[in-house]
Structure 1
Amino acid sequence: MPPRPSTRPARRRRVDPIYALFLFPALALFTAFVVVPAVIGIFYSFTNYVGYGRWSFLGLRNYTTLFTDPNIIASYGFTLGFAAVTVVVAQVIALALAVALSRRIRFAAPLRSVFVIPMVISGIVVAYVFNYLFSNSLPALATAVGFHPLEQSILGNPDLAWLAIVIVSAWQTIPGALLVYTAGLTAISDDLYEASALDGASSWKQFRSITLPLIAGFIVINTVLGVKGYLGAYDVIVGLTNGGPGTATSSVAMTIFGGFTGGDYAYQMANATVFFIVTVVISVAQLLVTRGRTIRL
């Protein structure tokens, strides 16, 4: 007869105290430089503090004012819309490039190296370079070929300036997504494609029925990371438009930082608190929607 399973509860493995010793410095630094300042900032969001001097308690006045402030509402609208458009553009292009580079083509390895160059360049440097291109090179080229819509810089057009920000942000973040997708495609066995080809499956059907389901987890990773990064966009916008024309491309991050140096410390701390809650809600919603779509290697 097989031995009867033991009914005694399993003994919990004792954790060596040395692990806590190594964990303590990082935890102490995180608490001192992240948690404590955040708690202090949230406290000041209920006051009229300007960053120095005396202050008095205002209750929820800063928060109620936020929801009727047209500049704040416009910054949220721009930030959320920009993040949604850019994450779609960046993921589609990155996935298309990854699929193309995963084929047995000549110079695939050097091309991968070229495509990741934007990832290692500072965002503010990229923004200033594209600022010059959009303000000078592109209008000059459009004038030379007689394409009137682009003879003036799109950075000065309130209706088109956001497109420049989408283009530059996507250009800078596509390499990171490309690397993730390349790793996912590499993990898919060639036998699956060979078997489907014998059954007469077209390239599109292979992509839809094999590639997409097997890299779903990688798509989730890139989408979550992309949305997180775009919601906090700051340097690219500063280098391209500085929030202009007017406040047409002013993001939430720019509004918050501008308030810190403009005497609206408490008001913008309330804005930062609300933005933190919005970001958490979006992140949790993404995780709930994508629950179960894990990476299978």
Structure 2
Amino acid sequence: MKWSCRMNARNFRDQLQQFAFVLPALAVYIVFFIYPSVGSIYYSFTDWHGLEKNIAFVGWDNYARIVQDEAFATALSNTLRLVVVVSIVQNVAALALAIGLNGSIRTKKLLRTMFFMPAVISALSVGFVWSYIYNPVDGILNAALRAVGLSAWENDWLGNADIVLYSIMGIIVWQNVGYAMVIYLAGLQGISDSYYEAAAIEGAGPWQRFRAITLPLIGPATTVNVMLSVIGCLKMFDIIYATTGGGPGYATETIASLLFSNAFGGRNEYGYGAAIAIVLYVLIFVVSWIMLKFFRSREVEA
């Protein structure tokens, strides 16, 4: 009996020590994530304007306004276009780079470093640099086009509403393709050469080996990269803020940038901004859950 009591006391002390180690991280998580999230849900049902003490409960009015808001509809369309185009282009380019740099190229280490470098630069810095590159008067891109005799292709890359969203897509892909490449490289290097040797003996060509061996076995890497690109585009804000601010008009407005402009861009509509934030959270959760279920099922089949 005494031995059992001593064991229970020891187990309790061990659990208490373990909880003490977890407590600081748990406190930070509650203070900086749980509390603001619950607060956002509450404020999304109010007309809060920031510093006012009198906050009126407005029910579902903010969410009804979202449904009727043309600016939100445009932002949603732009966000989904970013998700589709960037996810496809970025992953195809990253996989092509990974396959190319997984071979016996002498300078592959240098090239891997060069392609990965943009990923460690802050998005705001990337946005400011590309704003200069895209400058219609003094920008490097138009100057390069003039130098090679393609003056007809010169454009106001961030001022033309017809092409500005594609200009933003180019920046996003440029910054993130190297990071995705590294993930694909890790997947490729985990594939045993014996699979390719056996397929070659059976007479399989390069495309057949790629389709039957490479693609199925890099399934986990593909899942990670697609999820990262989709979620990153759904909450895209920093590059938009540093380059166009959502303009011209609403041509590059995303859900995240619309949230910022309503809550912090001078309008001080914190209640409406909180409602947009909740809608964005739900959208990210639903899309992520659907995609994760889809890719996990494909990995199991493979």
When normalised by structure 2's length, the TM-score is 0.89
CA deviations 1:246-291 (Å, max 9, x no partner) are: 1110111111111112221101111111111111110111122122
Q: Percent identity?
A: 37
Q: Is the 8 A contact 2:216 2:299 kept in 1?
A: no
Give yes or no for the alignment of 1:70 onto 2:73: no
Distance change in 2, residues 1:150/1:243 (3 Å): farther
Q: In the alignment, what sits opposite 1:40?
A: 39
Give yes or no for the alignment of 1:89 onto 2:94: no
Give yes or no for the alignment of 1:170 onto 2:169: no
**Aligned equivalents of 2:58, 2:151: Cα separation in 1:** 53
CA deviations 1:95-125 (Å, max 9, x no partner) are: 0000111112222222111111111111111
CA deviations 1:144-181 (Å, max 9, x no partner) are: 54535532222111110011111110111111111111
Give yes or no for the alignment of 1:134 onto 2:134: yes
Deviates further, 142-151 or 129-138: 142-151
Q: In the alignment, what sits opposite 1:245?
A: 248
How many Å apart are 1:143 and its aligned residue? Answer: 3.8
Q: Is the 8 A contact 1:217 1:293 kept in 2?
A: no
**Aligned equivalents of 1:172, 1:141: Cα separation in 2:** 21
Deviates further, 238-247 or 209-218: 238-247
**Aligned equivalents of 2:296, 2:117: Cα separation in 1:** 33
Q: 1:193 aligns with which of 193, 196, 200?
A: 196
Q: In the alignment, what sits opposite 2:223?
A: 220
Amino acid at match of 2:67: F
CA deviations 1:182-237 (Å, max 9, x no partner) are: 11110101111112112221111111111001001110111111111111111111
Unaligned runs of 5+ in 2: 1-10
Give yes or no for the alignment of 1:266 onto 2:265: no
**Aligned equivalents of 2:151, 2:115: Cα separation in 1:** 31
Amino acid at match of 2:131: N
Distance change in 2, residues 1:179/1:141 (3 Å): closer
Q: In the alignment, what sits opposite 2:59?
A: 59
Q: How does 1:111-130 map to 2 (within 5 A)?
A: 111-130=111-130
**Aligned equivalents of 1:235, 1:150: Cα separation in 2:** 28
Amino acid at match of 2:220: G
Task: Specify the SS of the correspondent of 2:101.
Answer: helix
**Aligned equivalents of 2:44, 2:133: Cα separation in 1:** 41
Task: Specify the SS of the correspondent of 2:68.
Answer: coil
Q: Is the 8 A contact 2:237 2:257 kept in 1?
A: yes
Amino acid at match of 2:123: G
Q: In the alignment, what sits opposite 1:106?
A: 106
Q: How does 1:138-153 map to 2 (within 5 A)?
A: 138-153=141-156
Amino acid at match of 1:270: A
Q: Is the 8 A contact 2:43 2:271 kept in 1?
A: yes
Q: Is the 8 A contact 2:124 2:239 kept in 1?
A: yes
Q: Is the 8 A contact 1:98 1:182 kept in 2?
A: yes
Task: Specify the SS of the correspondent of 2:47.
Answer: coil
Amino acid at match of 1:167: G
Q: Is the 8 A contact 2:263 2:269 kept in 1?
A: yes
**Aligned equivalents of 2:241, 2:79: Cα separation in 1:** 14
Unaligned runs of 5+ in 1: 1-13
Q: 1:207 aligns with which of 202, 210, 217?
A: 210
Q: Is the 8 A contact 1:45 1:268 kept in 2?
A: yes
**Aligned equivalents of 1:195, 1:57: Cα separation in 2:** 68
Q: Is the 8 A contact 1:138 1:150 kept in 2?
A: no
Q: Is the 8 A contact 1:128 1:239 kept in 2?
A: yes
Q: In the alignment, what sits opposite 1:50?
A: 49
CA RMSD of aligned residues (A): 1.7
Q: Is the 8 A contact 1:138 1:153 kept in 2?
A: no
